[in-house]
Structure 1
Amino acid sequence: MSLFLATLLPGLFLAALGALLAWNDPRVVSTAKALPRSQRGAWLFFGGGALWFLFRLSQLGEADLIFFQNPWPVMLAFGALAVLAFVYAPDFLAVRGLCILALLVAEPLLHAAYMEWTHPPRLLMVTAVYVGLALALYLAAAPFRLRDFFEWLFKRPARPRALGAFLIAYGLATAAAAFTY
């Protein structure tokens, strides 16, 4: 992925997310509040994250495989764990899936910005990615905190609008930074 795309796409994503929050439509509020325990969200986000992770495991090289000759035993073990998570730990699986996706998305974005010292505006994207990584690690350990955050956020109409305005501004600044390379 080029540095241009690695900066443009997160910027546009943040601006779109901010626009949804600033709009503050009742459908957005109800969808956000239902997301942490959503069964559809679990299938979409956790299932997508598990499939992406299994794909990444299938790409492991010989140096990464210590005990096995090929990645199939590792893939089967993690695939079984993903299926068992749907059966035995279905609560907040959508939040954990979002965390998995955030961790997997961060790698190509940070890889594109690695050693690009001549482009300081890349730090807008890198900062957003590291904040997302910190949130993903925190929410993976305590996924109920996302539910609590949404309850706090949507208690007053000014809060989502303020957060939305900040995300729009930061996202547009990040997207604009992509055109300076």
Structure 2
Amino acid sequence: MGMIRTRQWIMDNFMTLAREKPLNKITVAQIVERCGLNRNTFYYYFEDIPSLIEAIFAQQAAALLPEQRDTLSLLDSLDQGLAWCQAHREAALHIYHSASRELFQQHLTGLIGDTLNAYARQMKLDAIYDPEALRAVLHFYRCLLLGAVLDWLDQDMRYDLKEETRRLISLAENGALLPPEYPGKPA
């Protein structure tokens, strides 16, 4: 087996185990046994299980080509970015509800930030907003979207995230949270 295939074999077998059981119940010994490899081979490719998870996240992020995202709406881009979570629901939830939650959250924050930046480029928002205002707008949406995704994960992906996010964005864009005296609030 080639080096790239061995690395992928380890990642694939880990994902199979992660679908079957919580992360804190998975050991390197179980991964290598399932792969038919020895521990040294695992450690040649990965420092530990968190580095394996990080490699899986990096692979998924790289699979979302910016050119592909640039042709989609913001919600379609987000939906595409989270397709991995939906396709690997049990594994994603096991990782999310584990000690690797921080890694998962960092990956989501990066994914959402990259998606927003691609969307801003696509829509040429830098021509509409000055740099500081654009930074604030992107920060607001990153927080809104990250909060929505984290809630969706906390609820074990039990609702339609795309539709819920569409509602949240609509509320935000229509000034739902602004006080009545705010001068820019729609009537």
Q: Do the two structures share a fold, i.e. TM-score over 0.5? A: no
How high is the TM-score relative to the length of structure 2?
0.29
How high is the TM-score relative to the length of structure 1?
0.29
Tell which structure's C-alpha radius of gyration is larger.
Answer: 2
Q: Could you say which structure has the greater relative contact order, defined with CA pairs below 8 angstroms and 6 or more residues apart? A: 1
